[in-house]
Amino acid sequence: GEDVEQSLFLSVREGDSSVINCTYTDSSSTYLYWYKQEPGAGLQLLTYIFSNMDMKQDQRLTVLLNKKDKHLSLRIADTQTGDSAIYFCAESRGYGQNFVFGPGTRLSVLP
């Protein structure tokens, strides 16, 4: 995960919006992903964005991609306690589908 960076912690109040940021280094990455991992569980794909897009919205989730700055963000609207988890940004590199994960951002939602 050394080439994909994320802040490690984020705390928000229930009902507020959460914004989780990610930077990546490989300009050849074609897809960028957000995965959610709850304690002791596997990774759940939340959403992904193709590198020729700059925004994707899916219900409460909005992904923004700034390809020039290699910056990806995930915005969760109306954050709920069930959103508390670790969120991993990931990029895929070339043929062979080598997914590279960031270190994960631990989101804590306070009542």
Residue 15 binds to another protein (criterion: CB under 8 A): no
- Which range touches another protein (CB under 8 A), out of 18-26, 29-37, 60-68, 77-85? 29-37
Nearer to another protein, 67 or 101 (CB): 101
CA distances from 11 to 44, 90, 95, 107 (A): 21, 21, 37, 6
Pick one of 3, 13, 19, 45: the residue that binds another protein (CB under 8 A): 45
* Residue 42 or 111 having the CB closest to another protein: 42
| Shortest distance in whole angstroms from residue 38 CB to another protein | 10
Contact assessment for residue 75 and residue 62, using Cβ atoms and an 8 Å cutoff = yes
87 binds another protein (CB under 8 A): no
Alpha-carbon span 71 to 87, nearest angstrom: 15
CB 71 within 8 A of CB 22: yes
Q: With contact defined as beta carbons under 8 Å apart, do 31 and 21 qualify?
A: no
- 35 makes contact with another protein (CB under 8 A): yes
Closest C-alpha among 82, 84, 97 to residue 48: 97
Catalog residues that contact another protein under the rule CB under 8 A. Answer: 1, 28, 30-31, 33, 35, 40-45, 48, 88, 92, 94-104
